[in-house]
Structure 1
Amino acid sequence: MKQNLSLFSSVSRALIATFLCCPLLLAESDGKKNVLIFFIDDLRPELGCYGVDKIQSPAIDALASEGVLFERAYCQQALCAPSRISMMTGQYPDHNGIDGLFTPLRRHDKEAMTLPRYFQKQGYFTASYGKVYHHQIDDKEHWSDLPDISREKFANPETLARIAERVVEAKKSGKTVDEVRAAGKGPAIEVVEGPDELYRDGKVAKAAIESLRKNKEKPFFMCVGFAKPHLPFAAPKRYWDLYEREQFMVPERILPEGAPSLGVTKWNELRGYRGIPAEGPLSDELTLELRHGYAASVSFADAQVGKVMAELDRLGLREETLVILWGDHGYKLGEYGLWCKHTNFEVDTRVPLIVSAPGGKQGKRSHALVEIVDLFPTVVEMTGGTVPAGRDGMSLAPVLEDPKRKFRPFAFMQYPRGSQMGYALRNERWRYIEWIKFDTQEVVARALYDHQETQFPDKNLAADSEYSELVAELSKQLDAARRVKESRLNPANK
């Protein structure tokens, strides 16, 4: 495995040396500290605590008031499977070998050190509830508890019946596996009357609460994954009723001038749902309905976080537990005329991240550039352990001690597209992207976006002569940051 040790600048290496001397928040008292991590799918950093008042997220807002909120946290890839594996391994996709949706980690690397494996070795009760890994079989042997909770996406009996009928008909007609899967798709939205437990996330919260009660005397490493606000935007009616359709706006549907075609998608994930046109833009009416559904789904997920946190408090475990909440990647809601994730744009890669440590800073915000690979060493250090070798992340403990502290010179991320890999870096102001062919390592497209004033810049400046020196400098930094295994010059893992 080839690793480029020039990933970090000399400044970064100096910071690491400083960090090693920083006191750890949870290692000061005797006894093992608990860890509770919330995984939220497709969650944009648009919540009340992030300054978006129209989104009702009281539970996550409360958690932010009890810890440090990171304003500039970035995932390693805007796709759930590799993003979650990067978090669990503390390694970039080029390092752990997973940049696609369909390859479980353990099929690729049976010996990889992951957070559940690490904590199992430390004698912890390790538990996974809901969508933690994309592939539930990952780390199966390293979870003390891994219940198979229903993954049904819909609750309306009529919807479920229609889906079942279409699947049976497709199978009888000799359709391919992909065609049968497409027949099993339901509508992009659903509104039902009833309790939260009608949906998977309600069941997940219930399972986590029951586990806390049962295992409260043990040191635990617990991961709780909520699927919402992932499509379909389906939630009990009371969460839809938190919003009025008039609150939402149709965003600008114009791509940045000069944006490389490799940098955009046809958002087939959304197009696969019933009621969504196979091509072309969405109507204003449908756009607003989907944005309403996304907000309702965010509030639904938030309520589940609140239930679990309330039980943690009720059991008297809060002061013994490190709590982390993060989103696996961002999400487009019609901006640029696009939907879903799957790109290196800012809106796809910037994620919410909150770290609440007993005895730590409360209600603070950090503008430091951080990456999700940083969570592995953070959790290990803050529970008094030694970080295993081979991690790409750096412990966030120093930033948790001093939220005004700078951390990384830039954040690094990537996304594959056909025979190319798109690599991106994000510094204080700029987002720079290169698309590189796997076989020749040729740079076939570049993008430079200025984020000084906006999350949605309207022009790619990479070809502008005014920025040629900046592009050259950023290209050098990006090249130093890449960790490319020789075996990935002809990738089979797509």
Structure 2
Amino acid sequence: MRKSSVDGNETLEGSNLASISSASAVEMNRSRLSFVRGCGMLAVMLFLACPLFADSSDRKNVLIFFIDDLRPELNCYGADSIKSPAIDKLAKEGVLFERAYCQQALCAPSRISMMTGQYPDNTGISGLFTPLTKVQPKALTLPGYFRKRGYVTCSYGKVYHHGRDDSESWSDLVTKSAVKYANPKTLEAIKQRVAEGKKKGLGVDEMRTLEKGPAVEMAEVEDEAYPDGQVANQAIESLRKNRDRPFLMCVGFAKPHLPFAAPKRYWDLYERDLFDVPDRGLPVGAPSLAFTPWGELRAYLGMPEQGPLTDDQTKELKHGYAACVSYADAQVGKVMAELERLGLREKTIVILWGDHGYKLGEFGAWCKHTNFELDTRVPFIVSAPGRLRGGRSKSFVEMVDIFPTLAELTGGEVPARRDGLSLEPLLRDPGHELRSYALSQYARGSTMGYSLRDGRWRYTEWIQSGTKKVVFRELYDHHESPVPAVNLADDPERAELVTRLSEQLDAARRVGDSKVYQK
């Protein structure tokens, strides 16, 4: 009797043939297994070699503090009258840059420029009301870059000027609070004005003005009564949640931006009479478009619609600004203390920067919105594990440098079309000179002012967009002071200097060619 097995493909008849087939099948299976194992090993090797999938324990975290309207007027920058212990401590743990400049002295374009590593001419954004995603919806930003590399990306407080701009790049996004005051009477008065404005059918701009209260507020409250205290707590909670994952965290503190509102204990750190009233004189020969009427401050209650502030108003505002600096500094301290408590400090790169400078009565003016030294120079500190601690650099640096710096420090490739330079050499040797000058710009309608800060000089050209004609030039000597007294652009004795600086400025405006910035 003969037996057969269809499933086994085997019969008693032709048993020799069946044996040969079985042996071949076994050998084939062995070959397949060997091939699979080989592919598996190759996949593992590629997995471990790729930065995206590298062991997260080896990757450095990134924590960036964004501080709004902060001048480099801190204790660590030599301003003994300002109390900024947390930022001073951070400066001792890294490298402080004495000649750091933003690309435009205005919130939205400055922050977008930093987050893309591109100059405003490249981002296409030089105004306040245009978000990045409206002009470049697919732009590769700093958080987008890190998220693609497997990082958790977190945003708390004022990071972009437009709260939900670039929202797809964030793993966790908590936007800035609209509340600016803590005094119940102030809040109620604003509520009533807004209600009356709605009844009258006022326009958007007029309604924005009604939402503003006094320019200063001193309240007996805890830090969390104001938005920055809440932002610090959000960042602390996120650190606890993501302590075992590589993260990029951006923490944006609104103070010392107007209104100068902070808990009373920070006001109590300062005596009003110690604040001076700056000289209100304008630089001789400066063109009118170099200045603004500082409407941002005038929109607050109690501020004059035109003309200068009184001495008492000036001192009160300077007192409020200093109080807000110390308040913001305390929030930085809280977040840093938690970073250390969690054991994350030695594996976290920490950066603190100001989005632009600020005028506090110099020239009789306030706020930012110009190409002057006071508006474009910013505080900037980088503290990176394994790099120099307590260093100070006099090299010119720009905020477009943050993107390539963080890419290099975390072992990644610098993406194409970044306009900045990596600051890594300066974190090892602060005496190294990366650039010989820095570039900033500011628009006045269809005229763009490009400003170059050289070793001693600030040179500015105002260029019409249509004709490309230079309509005004400015040249200021900053050898002794950041507040210039006279525009030297038309001085015959400075003609050769103006020609040289004009050539440098023209080279600097060739956006994207980083080689022209190197010494």
- Asked whether the two chains share a fold, i.e. TM above 0.5, the reply is yes
Please give the residue correspondences for 1:198-209 in structure 2 after superposition, counting only pairs within 5 Å.
198-209=225-236
CA gap 1:30/1:155 in 2 versus in 1, 3 angstroms: closer
How far apart are the structure 2 equivalents of 1:258 and 1:463? 9
Aligned to 1:442: 469
* Contact preservation (8 Å) 2:235, 2:335: yes
Aligned to 2:17: none
Aligned to 2:348: 321
4+ residue segments displaced more than 3 Å: none
Match of 2:433 among 400, 406, 430: 406
* Contact preservation (8 Å) 2:163, 2:176: no
2:284 partner amino acid: E
Aligned to 2:395: 368
Please give the residue correspondences for 1:281-430 in structure 2 after superposition, counting only pairs within 5 Å.
281-430=308-457
* Contact preservation (8 Å) 1:34, 1:219: yes
* Contact preservation (8 Å) 2:97, 2:379: yes
Match of 1:49 among 60, 67, 76: 76
Match of 2:177 among 137, 143, 150: 150
Find the residue that maps to 1:360 and give its secondary structure: coil
Deviations 1:193-243 (A, max 9, x none): 011000000000000000000110100000000000000000000000000
The Cα of 1:185 is off from its aligned counterpart by 1.1
Find the residue that maps to 1:126 and give its secondary structure: strand
1:438 partner amino acid: S
**Is 1:266–2:281 an aligned residue pair?**
no
How far apart are the structure 2 equivalents of 1:36 and 1:174? 44
Match of 2:304 among 266, 277, 284: 277
Find the residue that maps to 1:169 and give its secondary structure: helix
1:429 partner amino acid: R
Please give the residue correspondences for 1:70-85 in structure 2 after superposition, counting only pairs within 5 Å.
70-85=97-112
Find the residue that maps to 2:400 and give its secondary structure: helix
**Is 1:67–2:94 an aligned residue pair?**
yes
How far apart are the structure 2 equivalents of 1:209 and 1:332? 32
2:409 partner amino acid: M
Aligned to 2:163: 136
Q: Percent of aligned pairs with the same residue?
A: 69
* TM-score (normalizing by structure 2): 0.87
How far apart are the structure 2 equivalents of 1:484 and 1:98? 14
Aligned to 2:258: 231
How far apart are the structure 2 equivalents of 1:179 and 1:78? 24
How far apart are the structure 1 equivalents of 2:249 and 2:113? 18
The Cα of 1:181 is off from its aligned counterpart by 1.5
Return 277-286 or 166-175, whichever deviates more: 166-175
2:385 partner amino acid: P
How far apart are the structure 2 equivalents of 1:175 and 1:144? 38
The Cα of 1:113 is off from its aligned counterpart by 1.0
Aligned to 1:210: 237
CA gap 1:427/1:328 in 2 versus in 1, 3 angstroms: same
How far apart are the structure 1 equivalents of 2:177 and 2:298? 24
Deviations 1:34-83 (A, max 9, x none): 00000000000000100101100000000001000000000000001000
Please give the residue correspondences for 1:8-47 in structure 2 after superposition, counting only pairs within 5 Å.
31-47=58-74
The Cα of 1:483 is off from its aligned counterpart by 4.2
Return 476-485 or 318-327, whichever deviates more: 476-485
1:211 partner amino acid: S
1:248 partner amino acid: F
Aligned to 1:20: none
Find the residue that maps to 2:173 and give its secondary structure: coil
The Cα of 1:484 is off from its aligned counterpart by 7.1
The Cα of 1:178 is off from its aligned counterpart by 1.3
Aligned to 2:219: 192
* Contact preservation (8 Å) 1:104, 1:137: no
1:161 partner amino acid: E
* Contact preservation (8 Å) 1:95, 1:483: no
* TM-score (normalizing by structure 1): 0.91
CA gap 1:30/1:159 in 2 versus in 1, 3 angstroms: closer
Match of 1:256 among 246, 261, 283: 283
Structure 2 unaligned segments of length 5 or more: list them: 1-53, 513-519
The Cα of 1:150 is off from its aligned counterpart by 2.6
* Contact preservation (8 Å) 2:152, 2:247: yes
Aligned to 2:478: 451
CA gap 1:258/1:218 in 2 versus in 1, 3 angstroms: same
Return 283-292 or 141-150, whichever deviates more: 141-150
Find the residue that maps to 2:174 and give its secondary structure: coil
Aligned to 1:481: 508
The Cα of 1:148 is off from its aligned counterpart by 3.9
Match of 1:242 among 269, 272, 289: 269
Find the residue that maps to 1:399 and give its secondary structure: helix
Find the residue that maps to 1:373 and give its secondary structure: helix
Aligned to 2:186: 159
The Cα of 1:32 is off from its aligned counterpart by 1.1
* Contact preservation (8 Å) 1:89, 1:112: yes
How far apart are the structure 1 equivalents of 2:323 and 2:107? 21
1:49 partner amino acid: C
How far apart are the structure 2 equivalents of 1:179 and 1:382? 47
Deviations 1:280-314 (A, max 9, x none): 00000000000000000000000000000000000
The Cα of 1:482 is off from its aligned counterpart by 1.4
Find the residue that maps to 2:193 and give its secondary structure: helix
Find the residue that maps to 2:325 and give its secondary structure: helix
Match of 1:182 among 209, 228, 231: 209
How many residue pairs end up in the alignment? 459
How far apart are the structure 2 equivalents of 1:439 and 1:143? 38
* Contact preservation (8 Å) 2:158, 2:175: no
How far apart are the structure 1 equivalents of 2:94 and 2:422? 16
Aligned-residue Cα RMSD (Å) equals: 1.4
Aligned to 1:4: none
1:187 partner amino acid: P
